[in-house]
Amino acid sequence: MMTATPNNSMLLEGKTILLGITGGIAAYKSCNIVRLLQKRGARVKVVMSEHATEFVGPLTFRALTNEPVAVGLFDDPSDPIHHISLAQEPDLVVVAPATANIIAKMANGIADDLISTTLLATPRPIVIAPAMNNGMWKAPATQANMATLRERGVHVVGPGSGYLACGDVDTGRMSEPEDIVEAICEVLYPAPQDLAGKRIVITAGPTHEPIDPVRFIGNRSSGKMGIALAGEAVRRGAAVTLVLGPTSLDVPHGVECVRVQTAAEMLQAALNAFQTADAAICAAAVADYTPAAPADHKLKKANERLDRIELVETVDILAELSRQKGERRVIGFAAETDNVVEYAERKLARKGCDAIIANDVSRADSGFGTDTNKAWIVSTAATQELPVLTKPQLADTILDLLKNI
């Protein structure tokens, strides 16, 4: 059975999110939060403090949301109790950035403007993303206020560490919009923690086998499927080590990532992580062959042979993990263009793993770089054909195979 996933592109369809913006330089990032929420299908309304409007004008958010932007307690003569309607309408309220001032007001029940009265009145879940100077963040008063809010069930994202507006490099910067939106999805659709206490190794992406310092043998893998698996596994409580080949994609929050380039590096990293793991999922597209003697300089076609490169076979990572698995579970992938199930069944028998996820990469809606996959789960017990799923949805379905490890 598939579980809900925050990576589903329209997960928030039908939901209304009230975005509260307070007076910090990170207010400019709130524009991206609006867009990311809208991409998930949410309707977004905005309430701003007076100070927030000094950083980003209300007109910006009016244009982004196609909704009136609330600022003052008495701005809307047609709604004399605007803070109550704002408090009750959304499914969730998020404050980003949340300054030390609004955090103090929330903790102490102060309601002296529209945003603070709305926050005091709302019965909805609240997510805050603190953003302030490090000294303000570490101040005993702020930490006491944060403890109070956490005790009351307010969900907190961050703050992160990095370059602050004051010039310091320290803790206090607002979390990235993507992480804030993920936290919102987590609150509205909490994942089952059925993989808590389990350690899973996941390989993802391509490998690059060097011919010389410039050229390499590679493939079209983007790493999207393996990264989706890592993100969903963490959501469901697992500790994940992602052994990731060359890709520009971001790694989900909470995932331990070991970046590699070659098949040999991926093999060693996977074997090291598998020593203490309960399961492995090999989603990487690993090169079958690598140049026997990579050149230490760029080869020149004028006087060096490039039409004949001696290749040697790489070690089969899936087969090696399967050989060492014992009672643990190992799942592999098969990217095929024809006879998908037949070839996957042969691979299952040859590799000795517990299941093969076969996907038809000849389809426009499946395979490398796409956001969806058409797949079959092939095991010794049965073969299950799946509908076209988003990669996160497919990831959840695959992870269901590991619930009882």
Both tokens assigned to 30: 């709130």
**Any long-range contacts for 375-382 (C-beta under 8 Å, 24+ apart)?**
376/340, 376/341, 376/344, 377/401, 378/334, 378/341, 378/344, 378/345, 378/348, 379/348, 379/354, 379/355, 380/348
Beta bridge partners of 126: 93
- Which are the contacts of 75, defined by CB distance < 8 A and separation ≥ 6? 82, 114
Pick the catalytic residue: 166, 185, 257, 282? 166
- Other Cβ atoms less than 10 A from the Cβ of 318: the count is 25
pLDDT at 176 over 50: yes
* Dihedral sign, Cα of residue 191, residue 195, residue 198, residue 201: negative
| Mean pLDDT of the 49-69 span | 93
Helices vs strands, H then E, count in the chain: 13, 22
Both tokens assigned to 272: 């090291």
Residue-wise pLDDT tens digits, 84-136: 878 888 999 999 999 999 999 999 999 999 999 999 999 999 999 999 988 88
| Mean pLDDT of the 323-336 span | 94
Q: Could you tell me the pLDDT band of residue 341, with boundaries at 50, 70 and 90?
A: very high
Domain ranges of the chain: 16-188, 199-402
Beta bridge partners of 199: 239
Residue 252 has what pLDDT?
82
Count of residues making up the chain? 405
* Dihedral sign, Cα of residue 395, residue 401, residue 404, residue 405: negative
Q: Could you tell me the pLDDT band of residue 152, with boundaries at 50, 70 and 90?
A: very high
Q: Which residue has the tokens 């076209």?
A: 388
Give the global pTM: 0.71
The answer to whether residue 185 is catalytic is no
Would you call the peptide bond into 97 cis, given omega within 30 degrees of 0 as the criterion? yes
d(CA 122, CA 85): 9
400 in helix, strand or coil?
helix
- Other Cβ atoms less than 10 A from the Cβ of 144: the count is 12
Considering the chain, what is the average pLDDT of its residues? Answer: 89
d(CA 373, CA 361): 8
Residue-wise pLDDT tens digits, 26-36: 999 999 999 99
Classify residue 54 by its DSSP letter: G
Domain at 199-402, CATH class: alpha beta
Exposed, middle or buried: residue 63 (CB in 10 Å: 0-12, 13-18, 19+)? Answer: exposed
Is it true that 16-188 and 199-402 share their CATH fold?
yes
d(CA 241, CA 267): 13
d(CA 352, CA 332): 10
Residue 135 has what pLDDT?
87
Are the C-beta atoms of residues 225 and 373 closer than 8 Å to each other? yes
Residue-wise pLDDT tens digits, 353-403: 999 999 988 888 887 888 888 999 999 899 999 999 888 889 999 999 998
Indicate the fold that domain 16-188 takes in CATH: Rossmann fold (3.40.50)
Are the C-beta atoms of residues 183 and 157 closer than 8 Å to each other? yes
H helices of 301-403, where?
Answer: 317-324, 340-351, 391-399
d(CA 372, CA 40): 16
d(CA 25, CA 146): 21
d(CA 97, CA 99): 6
**Any long-range contacts for 166-174 (C-beta under 8 Å, 24+ apart)?**
166/133, 168/133, 168/134, 170/134, 171/134, 171/137, 171/138, 172/130, 172/131, 172/132, 172/133, 172/134, 172/136, 172/137, 173/26, 173/131, 174/24, 174/26, 174/29, 174/96, 174/97, 174/129, 174/130, 174/131
Residue 261 has what pLDDT?
97
Are the C-beta atoms of residues 91 and 17 closer than 8 Å to each other? yes
Would you call the peptide bond into 206 cis, given omega within 30 degrees of 0 as the criterion? no
